[in-house]
Amino acid sequence: MLGIIVQLAVSWLIIWLCEKKHLGVLGFFPTKHRLLYFAIFLLVTAIFCTSGYILRMYFGKEEWILNPNISSLLILSGVWWNIKSVLFEELIFRGVLLYILIKKAGPAIAIAISSIAFGIYHWFSMEIFGNVIQMIVIFFVTGAMGLLLAY
């Protein structure tokens, strides 16, 4: 929890120093349009993930079994970890960095730099720095996702 507070404070400080604005410029307050897009994207993602699992079980003859060590605490800690990591990535790469770069360098350059930084960041978060083949694959996969999300 402290990490999120520090991250919000640092993000606010960067935006304040560069633009003399507050975190509201990053779109913290949802609009009806954003909530609708969020719901649609969540539904489409759930359909694709479910389809992927079903296809892997059918064609790959994979089996799905419930983890015998599953607990409410394990599920909640997994959900909390995902919220923290996504919040961090969004605030940094599609929040503060993208917002400031759009103002300073224009949208195309801002999106490119944000995507490149996102791809490089995952070398370290996935602890693959030094494995060149994995670094190239991760850079292109996460960089492309960063490009899509920034766009």
Supply φ then ψ for residue 30, to 5 degrees.
-70, 145
Task: Quote the tokens at residue 127.
Answer: 């602890």
Residue 135 banded pLDDT, cuts 50, 70, 90: very high
pLDDT at 67: 85
Give the Cα separation of 46 and 81 in Å (integer): 19
- If one compares 97 and 6, the residue with the highest pLDDT of the two is 97
Rounded Cα–Cα distance for residues 100 and 109 (Å): 11
* 1 pLDDT above the threshold of 70: no
Amino acid at 52: G
Question: Which of residues 128 and 95 earns the better pLDDT score?
Answer: 128
Rounded CA-CA distance 136/4 in Å is: 30
Average pLDDT, the chain: 85
DSSP letters, 76-126, are HHHHHHHHHHHHHHHHIIIIIHHHHHHHHH-HHHHHHHHHHHHHHHHHHHT
Would you state the structure tokens that stand for residue 26, as one six-digit string? Answer: 């990053």
pLDDT at residue number 74: 92
